[in-house]
Amino acid sequence: MSVIIFEIFRYDPEKDEEPYYKKYAVDCTQTTSIASVLRKIKDRADGSLTFRKGCGSAICGTCALKVNGRAVLACKTKISDLVEDMHEAEQERIEIRIEPLDNSDVIKDLVIDEKPFWEKLKKVMPWLNTNITEQDEEQLMSQEEVDAINHAQDCIHCHACNSGCDTLAEDDGFLGPEMLTKVYRFVKDPRDNSTFTRLEIAEKGNMTNCVRSYSCIDACPKDISPADKIAELHEIAYDYGLKDTRAARHAKHFVDSLKKTGKLDEKMMPVKTLGLGVVGFIPDTIRIATKGKMPPLFNRKIKGHKEVWDLVEIAHDKKEAKKER
């Protein structure tokens, strides 16, 4: 048993003008969970500490928060995940910081306002739309079709992926990795008859603004890989005819550049992707140019250009063959 110092975010809007951090010393073993630490503090040291707790089995997603800057489930995260040497941690007075999830408003202490999440969830229609009636026969799925949606169904709505999302931090209109994963789950379900509508909702929810920082993948406690699901949604949307989108234009220019010269024409990417919207980036372009960061004015064909394009065609053929299967 060792004494570990926990620095916890505190904020009560009814009496605090600004958030602050308060330190607590707690006896811990390597197997003590963060959820147990919070309960010990509330039961024995400070009954005013407020946090959410649920099943304690990493199933309900209720207890997500940030520990040392990373979104985790409090019930799943143990001291051994954070501290290698307990004796050294006690001697050096190592502190573990606990905070509420990012990209959310705080109601009190570690409790965030979940209302925006549930409002976005309603927008993506988290239910199966089908023409099946009670009189119809069951609609069977192949094992491959089940496997395609199984992982996405593991989402427990803990909001950890949203907490680490760089795009959501800047764009309130972005649906976020959590809700786009839900869109993916139903888009890939062959029993659903609202695929195009769901893809339109994703596009209107600024799906194309995802910057692929992969922070959502690192944060997800169920290893769902939301960023990969979003990338696949881009492809599905394109195949369904949603080709006048930022992501589609971006991809088209990338392929056209490779076909023409074997490398990306960086200077034309903003124009081809944003169209007239590029005007708003003129100040940024000027700043980049003054720092000497502008790409070459002329995009000359590289040596081995044909080999590069051959690889693109091979990848395309494999993708089409997979669709046919």
Provide the domain count of the chain: 3
pLDDT digits (tens, 9 = 90+) for 2-32: 889 999 999 999 999 999 999 999 999 889 9
Q: Are residues 203 and 278 in the same domain?
A: no
Which whole-number Å values give the CA distances from 132 to 25, 197, 198, in the listed order? 58, 18, 19
pLDDT at position 295, please? 78
Judge contact between 42 and 31, C-beta under 8 A: no
Q: Are residues 126 and 231 in the same domain?
A: yes
Question: 162-166, 206-210, 243-247: which has the minimum mean pLDDT?
Answer: 243-247
pLDDT digits (tens, 9 = 90+) for 127-166: 999 877 766 777 888 999 999 898 899 999 999 999 989 9
Summary mean pLDDT of the chain: 88
Q: Are residues 212 and 139 in the same domain?
A: yes
Measured at the CA of 18, the angle between CA 12 and CA 21, to 5 degrees, comes to: 75
- Choose among 163, 48, 44: nearest CA to 101: 163
Give the bridge partners for 227, in sequence order.
none
pLDDT digits (tens, 9 = 90+) for 270-319: 888 878 777 887 888 888 888 877 777 777 888 888 888 888 888 777 66
pLDDT at position 103, please? 95
Domain boundary among 62, 82, 111: 111
Parallel, antiparallel, or unpaired for β 2-10 and 95-99? parallel
Structural domain boundaries, residue 65: 2-111
Q: Are residues 186 and 251 in the same domain?
A: no
Q: Are residues 81 and 106 in the same domain?
A: yes
Domain boundary among 209, 239, 269: 239
Q: Are residues 215 and 260 in the same domain?
A: no
Q: Are residues 159 and 139 in the same domain?
A: yes
Give the bridge partners for 158, in sequence order.
none
Residue 249 CB contacts under 8 Å (≥ 6 apart), including other chains: 272, 273, 275
Domain with residue 62: its CATH number is: 3.10.20.30
Please tell me the number of Cα atoms within 13 Å of 10 on its side-chain side: 17
Judge contact between 34 and 4, C-beta under 8 A: no
Domain boundary among 91, 111, 131: 111
Q: Are residues 127 and 219 in the same domain?
A: yes
pLDDT at position 1, please? 75
Handedness of CA 256, 261, 263, 268 (dihedral sign): negative
